[in-house]
Chains A and B, each alone.
Chain A
Amino acid sequence: MTIKRIGIVCPYSWDVPGGVRSHVADLAVTLQGRGYEVNVLAPVEDPDTLPEFVSNGGRPTAVSYNGSIARLSFGVRATRRVRQWIREGDFDVVHIHEPVAPSLSLLTCWAARGPLVATWHSSHERSRMLSAGYYVAQTAMEKIRGRIAVSEAARETLVEHIGGDAVLIPNGVRVADFRDQESFAIEGTQKILFLGRIDEPRKGLEVLLRALPHIFSGLERCEILIAGPGGPQEYEKFLDPQWRDRVSFVGAISEEEKRRTLRQADLYVAPHIGGESFGIVLAEAMAAGTAVVASDLAAFDRVLQSGKSGRLFPVGNAEALGSAVVEVLTDQHQRRMLVEAGNARVMDFDWERVVEDVIAVYEAVHLSGEKVEEDLRGQIAGRFAGRRSRDNEETP
């Protein structure tokens, strides 16, 4: 194996849960399991709680970025830190996540050269991509040898706005982590789970709440658990007082709690009404051995194999959702079949498999013996000196 040491850069604060951050953590742990030496560089607020494979990239600053508050590292000190990490890391490959994010990622693109791989996670708006700073960013990004996109949407933005190509490697789930969780069924009561931001309409909580009368009239003993950040006040109007004790809002939960909660639920409901590009949470539910009922968005339909590994209902249709829930929870046979099919399906999204594709990309861009080095050429001077002679392939 010619690739041994891998550096990964995460642009967002390590202390704040988030999609990119957990992607990076899962990737790092899975690669370590394969025998690679992995080091992650990320902004960190509290250095005492760091796992040993994470390097402190400095204290992040909270700024408004891409429509929300992000905790990023930038400036002279961050640049120095990135350069030092590259020098001391002695990496064979450096994998940069969200390379356009104005944080450690962009700085690494700028300060490193050699076998660089980058993964695009989110879709960006066009206006920002055309701003003046983008010329500089693009210059730095032309050094990236292999580009990955986690979803078709992310790939499209990249192709349209930056141009060029990217390989699609979807998000993974660490299936074993979900299976590890203890699961105990509470006698008699059936738990239905909703996960996601409550105040974000596209997560579709309203659809589930409108289906409540249907669900409660069909199922004598079931509880609804709603987990996710946001205030429940605006949903009061859907809640008949007689159901108060059967619907609980538990607020935001940690990754660890999410795994446990999923494992203990009998049914996971995904009533999303749009905007999902992948649906990682469906895969997580399947990994936890929980039956899934989801709206038939294109992304969900794909993950659930058109209903084979999870029950689908028409987007936004509360009545159909209600009947689907009642049917799956009364028909034990059907529920078992869904769980079994889900268990098999989720193996396609297992990090153990996804990581193979990522390693293939590393190997496709890495020449044996190559290392990632600090890019010492000044941004202007020193360009014309030391031009290597090109290979003479073009001569007939």
Chain B
Amino acid sequence: MKGWVIGFSVLAVLITFFVLYLGMTAGRIDRLHRRIDVARLALDSHLLRRSGVTLELASSGYLDPASAVLISETAHAARLSTDLSSTQRDTAESELTAVLNAVLDVEAVEMIDDSLGGHEILEEFAASARRVELSRRFLNDAVRACVQLRKQRSARWFQLAGHTPVPHTREIHDHVVYSQRS
């Protein structure tokens, strides 16, 4: 009789601890999901800012017409891609980066820098590009932490992530060489 009671209470304590643990893990996953939501919004707003500054640069008259048309069309395509899937969007943004890296070579940067108001627009561009890189890094960091936690057995068996789809990292080629200077 007594052994039965002890056994039962030990089991009850163990179950309580296990439920607490599950609760904590669910809370961690929930928090990471929220962080990912915010990081996505931040990344999207910085991408919009970057393509916006690019359009401004294209229409500023500092660049030769061919370069201007090239970057404005790519920037425009990137801005329109907001309605598409995230993969298509990332491709469009990567293309913008590649075009920017091709257009903004040393000579072009020097020429813009020497023009009136050119220095300011270059600085603004560099700042926006840097923020894109940072916010994407922070987003992917949160996604990796979340995916790792969701892979745990307890999280899978007890569906601690609810019905939230598994988050994905955003793979954008976003390194603009010019943004590293100044």
Contacts and interface: CB of A to CB of B under 8 A. Distances in A.
Interface stretch (B6-14, B61-69, B100-108, B136-144): B136-144
B150 interface: no
B24 A379 contact: yes
B137 A387 contact: no
Contacts of B38: 145, 365, 367, 370
Given A163-B148, A383-B23, A394 B141 contact: no
Contacts of A379: 24, 27
B117 interface: no
Contacts of B33: 390
A387 B162 contact: yes
A364 B31 contact: no
A383 B134 contact: no
Contact of A383 (B30, B45, B127): B30
B37 interface: yes
| Chain B residues touching A, majority SS | helix
A390 B163 CA distance: 10
Contacts of B35: 142-143, 145
Interface string A374-387: 00010110011001
Contact residues on B (Cβ < 8 Å of other chain), bracket: 35 or more
A390 B37 contact: yes
A326 to B, nearest CB: 39
B176 interface: no
A306 interface: no
Interface string A347-365: 0000000001100110111
A142 B142 CA distance: 8
A388 B138 CA distance: 21
B163 to A, nearest CB: 9
A379 B27 CA distance: 8
Contact of B131 (A142, A360, A396): A360
A142 B28 contact: yes
B85 A167 contact: no
Contacts of B28: 139, 142
Contacts of B30: 383, 387
Contact of B23 (A361, A380, A393): A380
B144 to A, nearest CB: 7
A166 B57 CA distance: 31
Contacts of B119: none
B27 A165 contact: no
Interface in B1-51: 20, 23-24, 26-28, 30-35, 37-42, 45-46
Given A165-B140, A364-B138, A143 B31 contact: yes
Contacts of A35: none
B42 A396 contact: no
Interface residues of A, number: 33
B86 interface: yes
A393 B40 CA distance: 10
Given A165-B140, A380-B23, A365 B135 contact: yes
Given A363-B131, A390-B33, A383 B26 contact: yes
A328 to B, nearest CB: 32
A200 to B, nearest CB: 35
A306 to B, nearest CB: 20
Contacts of B137: 165, 167
A142 B137 CA distance: 15
Interface string A166-179: 01000000000000
A365 B130 contact: no
Interface string B94-135: 000000000000000000000000000000000100110011
A115 to B, nearest CB: 8
A97 interface: no
Contacts of A368: 45
A147 interface: yes
B134 A142 contact: no
B88 to A, nearest CB: 11
A164 interface: yes
Interface in B157-182: 162, 164-165, 167-168
The winner among A164, A364, A387, A390 for most chain B CB atoms within 10 A is: A364
9 contacts: A139-B28, A147-B138, A164-B141, A165-B138, A167-B137, A365-B38, A366-B42, A370-B38, A390-B164
Given A360-B127, A363-B46, A383-B30, 19 more contacts: A142-B28, A142-B35, A143-B35, A145-B138, A165-B138, A165-B140, A165-B141, A360-B130, A364-B42, A364-B131, A368-B45, A370-B38, A380-B24, A383-B26, A387-B162, A390-B164, A390-B165, A391-B37, A391-B40
Interface of A: 139, 142-143, 145-147, 163-165, 167, 356-357, 360-361, 363-368, 370, 377, 379-380, 383-384, 387-388, 390-391, 393-394, 396
Ranked nearest first, the 6 interchain pairs of A and B with the lowest CB-CB distance are: A364-B134, A364-B135, A394-B165, A383-B27, A165-B141, A380-B23
